[in-house]
Amino acid sequence: MISVKAPGKLYIAGEYAVVETGFPAIIVALDQFVTVTIQSADQIGSIVSSQYQENSIYWRREDGEMVFDNRDNPFHYILSAIKVTEDYAKTLGKDLGIYHLTVESDLDSKDGRKYGLGSSAAVTVATIKALCKFYDLPVNHDKLFKLAAIAHFHVQGNGSLGDIAASVYGGWIAYRSFDRDWLKLAEKNYNFAEMLSMDWPGLDIELLTPPKNLKLLVGWTGSPASTSHLVDRVALNKAKRQQAYQDFLTNSKACLKRMIEGFRNQDLHAIQAEIAVNRKLLNELDQFTQAHIETPLLKKLCDIAEEFGGIAKTSGAGGGDCGIAIIDSHKQLNQLIEKWAANQIIPLRFNVHHVEE
C-alpha cells in the first residue's frame, strides 16, 4: 500500500498581483494535510473520498447548454491529477494498472466547512505524488510542481498556482508564476518529457527563512469563500480600471520586493511594515473592483491583532476564509488569541510545515 501526504497553504502577501506572470507572492505551507493512499486492485478500481463528494454543483446556461463549474470541487482535481500522471507514465512506457485510491483531508473543518487552506492544490499534489510512487516515475520537486500545475490549471484555469508551489516545496516561499498562455501553447507543441525538463518562462520559487522571533497567527472567519469567483470578479473589473490596476501591480511588486528583502535580512520590522502596505494595496484593489476582499470580520481580525502589537491582513482571495497576523513571538500572543475567539474569529493553531526533497 502506498500512502503520501501534501500540505495545505496560506498566502502571506502578494495576492491577486501574483495571478499576473512574474509578480511575486509569499506563501507558507501548514501542517494540515491531504493524504492519498493507493492499493492495487483486480478488474475494478475505485476512488473514495469522504470529504470530497459531488453532492452539489454550480452551472450556467450557454447557447442552450448546461455548463458546469467544476472549479470548487476537489473531486475534479483528483481526476485531472490521475489523467496527467497516467499520461506521463505512458510517455515513459509504463503499463497502466488498476487500483483503489483513497483521499483523506484535514483541510476542512469537522462540519465540512472549508478553511480555505488550498484543498484543491493539496489534493492534486498528493494524488500525483502517490501515483508517481505507484508507477515508479522519476520526480523531484520541480517535476512534481509542473505535473500538478498542469493538472490544476486544466480544471481551474485562472489561478497563479502558488498554492501548488507551497504544497510541493513546503516552508515559506517567494513565488512568481509562469506564463499560463505559454503553457497552453507548450502543451500542444511539446511532449511530457520535454515540458518537465524545460524552464517555464516567468516561474521562480525561492525558499525563505523567517526571522527567529517571527510568529505567524492564523484566524478563521468561519465563512467559506470561492477563490475562483473572486479572481473572476477582479479580472472582469480590471479592464474598466486599467490605470488603477497597473498601479496596484507596480506597488504590490515593489512591496513584495522589500518584504522578501526583509526575510533575507531577518528583519521582522521590515516584514511587518510591508504586510501593512500590502493590506492597504489590497483594500485599494477592493475599492475599484468591488470584490469584497476584506470583510467586516477580517477587518476586526486585523484591528485586534494591531491592538496587541501584531500586523495583520486578509490571506488569499479574502471574502471570508482566514486572516493572518505577523507578530513578535515575545508579545502577549494569548491575549490576542483570546480576543479573536471572543469576537467570532476562530484561532487555528497550525504550524509551518517543511517538506523533504
Nearer to Mg ion, 162 or 262 (CB): 162
**Residue among 222, 226, 186 at smallest CA distance from 202:** 186
How many residues touch Mg ion under the rule CB under 5 A: the total is 6
Site for ligand PMV in 59-118 (CB under 6 A): 116, 118
Shortest spacing between CB 219 and ligand PMV, in angstroms: 14
**How many residues can be counted in the chain?**
357
285 makes contact with Mg ion (CB under 5 A): no
d(CA 75, CA 60): 19
Q: Take residue 52 and report the three cell numbers written for it.
A: 470530497
- The correct pick among 219, 262, 310, 316 for binding ligand PMV (CB under 6 A) is 316
Q: Quick check: 238 and 289 in contact, CB under 8 A?
A: yes
23 makes contact with ligand PMV (CB under 6 A): no
Rg of the chain on CA atoms, in Å = 20
Nearer to ligand PMV, 137 or 301 (CB): 301
Q: Quick check: 296 and 242 in contact, CB under 8 A?
A: no
Residue 160, contacted partner among ligand PMV, Mg ion, none, CB below 5-8 A by kind:
ligand PMV
Would you say the C-alpha torsion 337, 340, 341, 346 has a positive or negative sign?
negative
Binding mask 320-339 for ligand PMV (x = CB under 6 A): -x------------------
Strands (E), 14-92: 24-40, 46-49, 58-62, 65-69
d(CA 144, CA 130): 11
Q: Quick check: 147 and 184 in contact, CB under 8 A?
A: no
- The correct pick among 15, 108, 294, 321 for binding Mg ion (CB under 5 A) is 321
Shortest spacing between CB 150 and ligand PMV, in angstroms: 15
Contact positions vs Mg ion (CB under 5 A): 116, 225, 227, 316-317, 321
Contact positions vs ligand PMV (CB under 6 A): 11, 15-16, 18-19, 116, 118, 159-160, 162-163, 227, 231, 316-317, 321
